[in-house]
Amino acid sequence: MTITEEIWRQAILPMSASLEEVITNLTKVSIKIVLVVNEAGELQGTISDGDIRRGLLRGLNLISPIESIIHHNPLVVTEELGREAVRKLMVVNKIQQVPVVDDQHHIVGLYLWDEIAKPILRPNLMVIMAGGMGTRLRPHTENCPKPMLSVSGKPMLEHIIERAKQEGFSHFVLAINYLGHVIENYFGDGTCLQVRIDYLKEKSPLGTAGALGLLNPWPTLPFAVTNGDVMTDIHYGELLDFHTRHNAAATMAVRVHEWQHPFGVVQTDGIDIIGFEEKPVHRSHINAGVYVLEPEALCFLEKNVRCDMPALFERLQAKEKRTAAYPIHEPWLDVGRQEDLTRANMDNKIKP
């Protein structure tokens, strides 16, 4: 999300502008940059107050043309690049402003560091599926629900909520079943974390999507859903923005999984050998357990009827609703086995 169009458009000047006009613009608009365009409206470069000072030291005056002080070929980004990626670019390049351009190099937005460094407050709901029994993690889960298992001194569920809070989310719904009272007693209404927490109480396990059928009232905005045993550095806000940008009914975060065949593979046609492939690597996308759904997706669920998330996606596809895949590269770990829990505790910032 860039600053409002009314502000950055005021910072656009033509190539014919004078040094005095640039100084006046910088003072008036107060975003520390001027965007210079040609007659076709294409971005030609930028000017900062530092560029002006250097020009004055070289002997320029207020009526001098600006050609010699324009910073040509500035770093620009497209609308498709996510907010977090832009923020990292700004950190690496030590810059305070980044213009956003379209395919014709016309300016369509502007990122400012003072704005992008602030978390966006998101009114969207986040639902966390925390009702699983965690049978593969017994005996740890005999008296403790899996999402409450400790990672680096606090429950996995708390890590998930805190990360989402950093992304601007403040309203959470926890779907609980097995030992749900342990979760409810720990988090309460969320006041301890300065968020709002409500609960969906499953009478019986409803799968990775079925509990959503209990939402009342329905969300009015797209909402995020995550499994309560997924530890990841994913940017939930960027996933939400991706979903909205692509007009999807449902979006699934997916991760590339690689598996190397332990043997050399012989390719045959009948009895004829036609080729060899030495220990090939197979790549596929796996479900990362994090989603964004439109409220309309809830129409495809029945109250108190079990449904897993892949089945919900298939129902949407059958009605020709768009379902999108959001590839993630961030560290991710599905804590389903003892070795996963050990790995999560070895380093809370999960390695990919």
CATH at residue 85: 3.10.580.10
273 and 130, same structural domain?
yes
Mark which of 92, 116, 140 sits at the end of a domain.
116
pLDDT band at 62 (very low <50, low <70, confident <90, very high): confident
Q: Are 292 and 223 in contact (CB under 8 A)?
A: yes
> Is the domain of 57 the same as that of 194?
no
Full domain range(s) for residue 59: 5-116
Residue 334 and residue 230 in contact, taking contact as beta carbons nearer than 8 Å: yes
Could you tell me if 127 and 270 lie in one domain?
Answer: yes
How far apart are alpha carbons 51 and 70 in whole angstroms?
7
Domain count, the chain: 2
Pair type for strands 265-269 and 34-37 = unpaired
220 and 332 both lie in a single domain? yes
Contact 271, 242 (CB under 8 A): no
Same domain, 321 and 198: yes
Coil, strand or helix: which one is 11?
Answer: coil
Token reading at 337: 């086995």
Tens-place pLDDT, residues 131-159: 877 777 677 777 888 898 888 888 989 99
Tell whether 188 is covered by a domain. Answer: yes
Residue 291 CA to chain centroid, in angstroms?
11
Give the chain's mean pLDDT.
Answer: 86
How confident is the model over 71-80, as a mean pLDDT? 87
The model's pLDDT over 193-228, given as tens digits with 9 standing for 90+, comes to 999 999 999 888 888 899 999 999 999 999 999 999
Write down the pTM of the prediction: 0.69
pLDDT interval class at 350 (50, 70, 90): very low
Helices (H) and strands (E) in the chain, counts: 10, 19
pLDDT over threshold 70, residue 274: yes
Q: Are residues 52 and 138 in the same domain?
A: no
DSSP category for residue 271: T
Phi, psi of 144 (to 5 degrees): -145, 125
157-191 pLDDT per residue, tens: 999 999 999 889 999 999 998 888 899 999 999 99
